[in-house]
Each structure stands twice: as structure tokens, then as C-alpha cells.
């Protein structure tokens, strides 16, 4: 474990009614402790998971559009609005790691292609070829398998976005190996990923953000109810 706590610097906030400070989960946030090698962020769409993850990435010195410390490229809309308003407590401090943003992975892949024009060797960290020549899911797994591995902090925003259920399971096994020497904070909607044991799950629908058990998450409950009784569920929904 490296990152022990993120604290919101409330005294610096001048416009509490504006984004990002008006997001309910952040309105009531004082600090969030990290106790495990793997921490999940869950919550409804718009509950503030990405906003906080991006701010942590910013404070880690990672490109807020996605990438590590050495990835500099132009990407609009990568401002970390909350970045200057949080403080991270480390023990020990690490500088290595990666910020994965599903929504700007395409631009990240462009960036790697550009670097590879000068130095084709960089593809080795991404499965031996351009991320654009792999399917979305393949390129994600190539990144997880080849680029993730060293100790450090890995911030992943919806890594399941491109992955089939079978590949989400493959991801769990990669995650399990990686967490032995790294810390991961993962925003996810996947009931498969959330099932990873020994992880903390923070619920962004609660105010203040609090820990929640796997079986209590909406993601688990809704998926389970749907799969167990699809016909009944559909009848309620569609009739
Ligand atoms: N740049 C922005 N300007 C204004 N509001 C934003 C901006 N980015 C996100 N929001 C709003 O902040 C809320 C939280 O967004 P986000 O952190 O992306 O949620 P999540 O990742 O949990 O789905 C949403 O209601 C969203 O519309
Ligand atoms: Mg998000």
C-alpha cells in the first residue's frame, strides 16, 4: 500500500455551489482512508467517481487524460477540476503507476503510435503492436498484461468497459498478481470485478461516501435479481 488517505481541502474552496464541489458525494467529503491494496469506487452515473479519481491522478503527476508520468500529449477536457483541492498522504510515496480512462483510451493509443514512430520498441509494453490494431478489449488486456506489472499506483476508471465477461475474469487474475506489489483504485460498474475478495468498496451514493459490502451494492443486487429471474423482471419492466 502506498496511498493512505485523500483529504479534501475545504478551506481552499471559494465556490461550493459549482462543479465539482456541488456533487453530493463531495459536498460531504472530509477525507477518505485507503486500507487495502485494492479499493473500488461504486455509485450511480454522475456520483463523482471519475472526478475524484482524476484529481488523484493529477496529484500523482499522471496525465489526467490517461497514462503514466512520462506520457505527455494534448487532450482537451482533461482538466482535473478537483486536482488542486485535495491532498494525498503517502506511506511510502511512489511515482510510478498508470491512470486508465476508458473514455480517452483512443487518444492514448494515438499518443503511443506517435511515440512508436521514433521508437518502435515502445510497443513492447503494449502487446507488440499498435493498440489501434487490436480490438478495444484486446488492447485493454494488452495494456494490463504488459504495461502494468511494476510496483506503483494504478488508477482505473471503468476498466471493464471493453471487456467480455470471460476477459473480466482474466482481468481479476491480473489484478490479483498486481496487487501484491501495487495499489489499485478502480471505479467500476462490473459485478464481476467488484467480486474481488479482500477489497474495500466505497459507495459514492452515500453521504458521506462510505464502505459497503459487495452483496449490498446495487450492482450485485440488480444483476443477481435479473439473472435469477429474468422473465419476472422483464415483465415488471416492460408491461
Ligand atoms: N467538466 C464538468 N463541468 C460541469 N459538470 C461536470 C463536469 N464533469 C462532470 N460533471 C458533472 O459532475 C457529476 C459527476 O461526474 P463524474 O465524476 O464523471 O461521475 P461518475 O464518474 O461517478 O459517473 C455529473 O453530474 C457530471 O455531469
Ligand atoms: Mg465516471
pLDDT tens digits along 79-105: 688 999 999 999 999 989 989 887 777
Point out the ligand nearest to the CA of residue 52.
1
This prediction's pTM: 0.92
Confirm if 90 and 153 have CB atoms less than 8 A apart: no
SS3 content of the chain, % helix, strand, coil (to 5): 45, 20, 40
Percent of the chain exceeding pLDDT 90 equals: 64
The whole domain housing 122 covers 3-238
**Which is the closest atom of ligand 1 to the Cα of 48?**
17
Return the CATH number at 210.
3.40.50
**Of 51, 140, 158, nearest to 103 (Cα)?**
158
Domain count, the chain: 1
Point out the ligand nearest to the CA of residue 44.
1
The dihedral sign for the CA sequence 164, 169, 173, 176? positive
Average pLDDT over the chain, rounded to an integer: 90
| Residues contacting ligand 1 via CB (< 6 Å) | 19, 23, 43, 45-51, 204
Percent of the chain exceeding pLDDT 70 equals: 96
User: Has residue 74 got a pLDDT over 60?
Assistant: no
Q: Which three cell numbers stand for residue 237?
A: 419492466
CA of 118 from ligand 1 middle (Å) equals: 37
Distance separating alpha carbons of residues 176 and 196, to the nearest angstrom: 8
**Of 31, 35, 92, 89, nearest to 59 (Cα)?**
89
Residue 124's pLDDT is 83
51-73 pLDDT, tens digit each? 999 999 999 988 777 777 766 65
What is the number of alpha carbons within 13 Å of residue 126 lying toward its C-beta? 25
Residue 145's pLDDT is 83
Amino acid at each position: 500500500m502506498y496511498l493512505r488517505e485523500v483529504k479534501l481541502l475545504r478551506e481552499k474552496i471559494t465556490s461550493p455551489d459549482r462543479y465539482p464541489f456541488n456533487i453530493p458525494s463531495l459536498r460531504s467529503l472530509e477525507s477518505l482512508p485507503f486500507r487495502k491494496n485494492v479499493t473500488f469506487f461504486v455509485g450511480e452515473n454522475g456520483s463523482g467517481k471519475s472526478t475524484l479519481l482524476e484529481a488523484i491522478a493529477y496529484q500523482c503527476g499522471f496525465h489526467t487524460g490517461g497514462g503514466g508520468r512520462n506520457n505527455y500529449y494534448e487532450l482537451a477536457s482533461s482538466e482535473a477540476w478537483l486536482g488542486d483541492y485535495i491532498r494525498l498522504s503517502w506511506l511510502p510515496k511512489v511515482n510510478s503507476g498508470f491512470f486508465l480512462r476508458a473514455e480517452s483510451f483512443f487518444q492514448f493509443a494515438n499518443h503511443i503510435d506517435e511515440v512508436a514512430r521514433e521508437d518502435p520498441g515502445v510497443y513492447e509494453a503494449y502487446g507488440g503492436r499498435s493498440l489501434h490494431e487490436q480490438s478495444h478489449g484486446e488492447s485493454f488486456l494488452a495494456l494490463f498484461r504488459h504495461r502494468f506489472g511494476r510496483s506503483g499506483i494504478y488508477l482505473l476508471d471503468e476498466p471493464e468497459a471493453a471487456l467480455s465477461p470471460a476477459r473480466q475474469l482474466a482481468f481479476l487474475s491480473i489484478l490479483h498478481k498486481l496487487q501484491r506489489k501495487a495499489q489499485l483504485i478502480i471505479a467500476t460498474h462490473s459485478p464481476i470485478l467488484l467480486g474481488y475478495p479482500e477489497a474495500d468498496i466505497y459507495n459514492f451514493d452515500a453521504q458521506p461516501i462510505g464502505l459497503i459490502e459487495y452483496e449490498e451494492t446495487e450492482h450485485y443486487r440488480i444483476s443477481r435479481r435479473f439473472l435469477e429471474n429474468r422473465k419476472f423482471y422483464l415483465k415488471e419492466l416492460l408491461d
